[in-house]
Structure 1
Amino acid sequence: MWEQMTDEQRQRYGVYRRAALNKSAVKKLVSQVLNQQITSTLTFVIAGFSKVFIGEIVERAVQLQNEHGDEGPLTPEHLREAYRLYLKESPATEATTAVANGFTKRLF
C-alpha cells in the first residue's frame, strides 16, 4: 500500500501518525463531563478514537471541498457540513435505546 501512495499522501500519513491529542487535556475534559476521575488507560483509548473521529470528519470535509470546487485550506463551513452529514448518516449517534419490540426510543 505504501508503494501505491503519492509523495503527498505519504507526507500526510506521516503527519497523521505523529499527531496526538494532549492526554492531560483529554483527561481533564472527560473528568469534567463524567464528574469523576478516569484512568490513564481510558484517557489513551478516548484520545485514540477521538483522533480517528477527527480524521474522518476532516476527510469528509476535504471531499466536500473538492465536490464544491473550492480551493485553499478547509474552512469552518466545510467542517460543519462534514459533521452535519456525519450525524445525519450515523444512526448510532442518536441518543436512543432499544425496546422489546425492536423499535428504538429516544432518551432525550
Structure 2
Amino acid sequence: MSDSESFQSDVSLDEEDEEFIWKVFYSKLEADSAGNAIGSGDANELDLSDISDIEEAFPELVQKYKQLKNRESEQLTEDQQKAILMSSLSQEQMDRFEAYRRMAVNKAGVRKVCNGILGNTMPQNIAVVMGGLLKQLLSEIISLAFEVQEREYKAQLILDIDEKKKRKRDSIKKLALGDESLPAEPERKLEYMGDYKLPLTPDHIREAWRIFQTQGSGAFQSKWRSQGECDGKFFR
C-alpha cells in the first residue's frame, strides 16, 4: 500500500469528540434498549395470584393485598384517568401538553373557509369539529417539523465530523512529508445544534408538510385518483 492510500484511510478523532458523537447518536438508542430490557423482565416476576399458602400465616397482609387488587380492577372515571395520566408525564411532555391546550384555532376563519369551499352555510357545531381537526393536523405538522429540524442538525454534525477527519488526515500527511507548519485556522470543537432550543424555520414547516403528504396522511394527489385509462374526474 502506498503512502497516499494510507492517508486516505479513516482516522479516529479525539476521545472527547468520540464521546460527544456517542452522546448525540447512540445514547438514546442505548436508553431505549435498556428500557425494553427492564420491561421484558417484568413478565418473569413471581405470580401472586395464588396466595393460599401464606394466607394463614399473614392474614392482614393478604387482606391488604386483596384490597389493593380490587382497587386496581375498579373502573376509573375520566377525571381519575386524566389525573393518573398527568402525574405520569415528564416535564417536557407537560410543557408540550400545556402548549397544545393553549393553542386556539380561529373558528370563525375556519367556518368562512369551509363556507367558501362548500358554497353553503356551515353550522356552528360543525365549525367547532373542523377547528378541532385542524388543531390536530397542526400539532402533527409541528411535531414532524421538529423531527425534520433534528435530522438537519444531525446531518450537519456528520458533515462537520467528516470535515474534521479530512483536516486531520491532511495534517498527518503534512507531518509525514516533513511540513510542521501550523494550520491556518485553529481546530474548533464539534457542536450539535440540537442542544439548543432553536425555533422552527419556514423550511422545516414546508419539509414537514411535504413528508406528511408523501406518507399518505394528507389529501390524495390527482395522479393517485386516476384508475386504468380514466382520468379520475369522477373522484374530483
TM-score, normalised to structure 2, is: 0.39
Q: 1:27 aligns with which of 111, 116, 139?
A: 111
1:63 aligns with 2:147: yes
* Partner residue, 1:88: 214
The corresponding residue for 1:41 is 125
Cα distance, 1:92 vs. partner? 6.3
2:200 match: 74
Structure 2 residue identity aligned to 1:17: R
Paired with 1:87 and 1:30, the residues of 2 have a C-alpha distance of: 21
Displacement of 1:91 in angstroms is 6.5
5+ unaligned residues in a row in structure 1: which ranges?
none
Corresponding residue SS for 2:94? helix
The alpha carbon displacement at 1:6 in A equals 2.5
Q: What do residues 30-81 of structure 1 show as CA deviations (whole Å, max 9, x unaligned)?
A: 1112121100111011101110011001000001101111551001110100
d(CA) in 2 for partners of 1:89 and 1:62?
Answer: 17
Distance 1:23 1:91 in 2: 23
Instruction: Please list every run of 5 or more consecutive structure 2 residues that lacks an aligned counterpart in the other structure.
Output: 1-84, 154-192
Structure with the bigger RCO (C-alpha within 8 Å, sep 6+) is 2
Distance in 1 separating the partners of 2:208 and 2:87: 30
How many correspondences in the alignment? 105
Amino acid aligned to 1:48: G
Larger C-alpha radius of gyration, 1 or 2? 2
Partner of 2:181: none
The one-letter amino acid of 2:129's match is V
Aligned identity (percent) is 27
